[in-house]
């Protein structure tokens, strides 16, 4: 029997790289997001039972001098303002929209989700207060950490480490600011950094895995199949 031949002009097109499951949102990123968010959940449960300052807070407060009237530190916290957040998120989305649509969706939704969960769910649920105000986690640090993660995920590979380093420095400075200004315990600031970072990373993983299931393109539209049944050779 003569083997079946396929006409190369009518065979189904091979799956292009654009519609293969993307490499982004892999297991390492999922693990990092999981570790951060589980750590925040454990801390939240602890402070629900013991809302006062922890040993870490006592140690860190002894090291960080109070600067309640610092104009510079106040300016740093404006990184979490709505105009800065909106502009930074929009820039990240536009940077990846053409090459990675699932990531663009994650970068648009992640910061909003992180801040909403912190302010509307976690703070009332934990009930921890600093100077009479709900404080866990720090919403300011959540916003800046989410924005820094957007920048890191949106940056081209060649700039990735540099952008990540700058973003981490911004988050650290914001955490220092909210503590020195007398707005939060240090543990609130740490939880804010973990919440903002972990939520955006998790959103990115979820978006890519959903896209893989739906065979959603990561750039450009899926080409139409032009295939036809294989042509059998004469027996």
Give me the pLDDT at residue 188, please. 98
Give me the pLDDT at residue 214, please. 86
Q: In angstroms, rounded to a whole number, what is the distance separating the alpha carbons of residues 92 and 150?
A: 6
Percent of the chain with pLDDT over 90: 76
87 Cβ contact partners less than 8 Å away, ≥ 6 residues apart:
none
- With left for phi above 0 and alpha for psi between -120 and 50, is residue 231 left, alpha or beta? beta
49 Cβ contact partners less than 8 Å away, ≥ 6 residues apart:
none
- Over the chain, what is the mean pLDDT? 86
- pTM exceeds 0.85: no
213 Cβ contact partners less than 8 Å away, ≥ 6 residues apart:
none
Instruction: Assess whether pLDDT exceeds 60 at residue 44.
Output: yes
- pLDDT single digits (tens) 102-120: 999 999 999 999 999 999 9
Looking from the CA of 171 toward its CB, the CA atoms found within 13 Å total 29
Report, in this order, helix, strand and coil percent for the chain, each rounded to 5.
65, 0, 30
Give mean pLDDT, residues 207-219: 77
């Amino acid at each position: 029997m003569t083997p079946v031949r396929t006409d190369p002009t009518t065979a189904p097109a091979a799956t292009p790289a654009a519609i293969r499951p993307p490499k982004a949102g892999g297991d390492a990123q999922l693990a990092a997001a999981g570790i951060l968010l589980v750590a925040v959940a454990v801390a939240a449960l602890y402070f629900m039972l013991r809302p006062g300052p922890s040993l870490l807070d006592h140690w860190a407060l002894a090291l960080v001098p109070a600067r309640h009237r610092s104009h510079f530190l106040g300016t740093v916290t404006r990184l979490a303002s709505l105009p800065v957040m909106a502009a930074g998120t929009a820039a990240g989305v536009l940077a990846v929209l053409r090459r990675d649509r699932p990531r663009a969706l994650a970068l648009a939704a992640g910061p909003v989700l992180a801040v909403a969960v912190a302010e509307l769910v976690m703070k009332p649920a934990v009930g921890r207060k600093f100077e009479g105000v709900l404080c866990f986690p720090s919403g300011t640090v959540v916003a800046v950490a989410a924005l820094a993660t957007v920048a890191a995920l949106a940056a081209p590979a060649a700039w990735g480490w540099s952008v990540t380093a700058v973003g981490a420095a911004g988050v650290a400075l914001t955490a220092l600011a909210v503590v020195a200004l007398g707005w939060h315990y240090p543990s609130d600031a740490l939880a804010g950094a973990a919440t903002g970072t972990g939520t955006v990373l998790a959103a990115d993983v979820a978006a890519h895995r959903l896209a893989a299931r739906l065979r959603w393109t990561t750039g450009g539209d899926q080409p139409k199949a032009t295939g036809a049944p294989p042509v059998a050779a004469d027996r």
